[in-house]
């Protein structure tokens, strides 16, 4: 996929949930936040990503959540997405995904 073609596709699908594949074979899913002349910016959900990383790895914790001191209930982080920045020249596939 050429750079201008990738940019055009990303702009058409801005704010939609997509799956992208890069030239190195890695796959990422997320919502297209922005596109500029060189990069596409994805809001990638934490946990359950197509790339296979777990929620614990994204935050570097040993558990999917941790507990407040002196409290018994779990604390989940407020941030449920992180930003992924990918070069347009590295995109090979963009697919729309259903968002539930």
DSSP string, 15-47: TSEEEEEETTS-EEEEEEEEE-SSEEEEEEESS
Instruction: Return the pLDDT at 74.
Output: 58
**Mean pLDDT per 10-residue interval, the chain, length 100 residues:** 92 96 95 96 77 44 50 60 94 87
CA pair distance 58, 36, nearest whole angstrom: 25
CA pair distance 28, 58, nearest whole angstrom: 14
State the sign of the Cα–Cα–Cα–Cα dihedral 51, 21, 94, 32: positive
CA pair distance 79, 38, nearest whole angstrom: 26
pTM for this predicted structure:
0.68
Q: pLDDT tens digits for 21-49?
A: 999 999 999 999 999 999 999 999 887 54
Instruction: Return the pLDDT at 79.
Output: 59
């Amino acid at each position: 996929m050429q750079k201008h073609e990738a940019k055009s596709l990303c702009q058409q699908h801005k704010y939609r949930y997509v799956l992208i594949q890069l030239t190195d074979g890695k796959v990422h899913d997320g919502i297209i936040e922005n596109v500029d002349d060189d990069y596409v910016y994805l809001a990638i959900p934490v946990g359950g990503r197509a790339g296979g990383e777990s929620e614990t790895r994204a935050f570097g914790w040993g558990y999917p959540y941790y507990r407040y001191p002196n409290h018994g209930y779990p604390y989940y982080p407020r941030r449920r997405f992180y930003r992924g920045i990918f070069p347009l020249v590295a995109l090979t596939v963009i697919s729309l995904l259903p968002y539930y």
